[in-house]
Structure 1
């Protein structure tokens, strides 16, 4: 299978599956080794479990979060 076909198939997958693929690819390029990386991974997994369980309020889209951050720096 060529790269173009593979990308087309991957982009047709549900977002959670695409995230797992991206995560796997990034890990293959930059293996997490440090304690900080391990803590970030644990935090991300915990937050994902909370989101799936519905124990977190409404999620804030990433672009909105970054807009808020930029606004704080511009003040």
Structure 2
């Protein structure tokens, strides 16, 4: 590795846990180029789901039900 990378790793190791988590998130997300329109598509989907909830037409499930299903699928 380059001297710069080694220096950055050393400096990163001195950060607090929340700071390292923030840095890790930044680095990981910087590896994947953002696809055009994804953020807007999520905003649209969130708005649609919120509207369903407010209209009373959303079909929700309890956390217990979801967790039980996950335990069956992934023992």
- For the criterion TM > 0.5, the same-fold answer is no
TM-score by length of 1: 0.40
- Higher RCO structure (Cα 8 Å, ≥6 apart): 2
TM-score (norm 2): 0.40
Question: Between Structure 1 and Structure 2, whose CA radius of gyration is higher?
Answer: 2
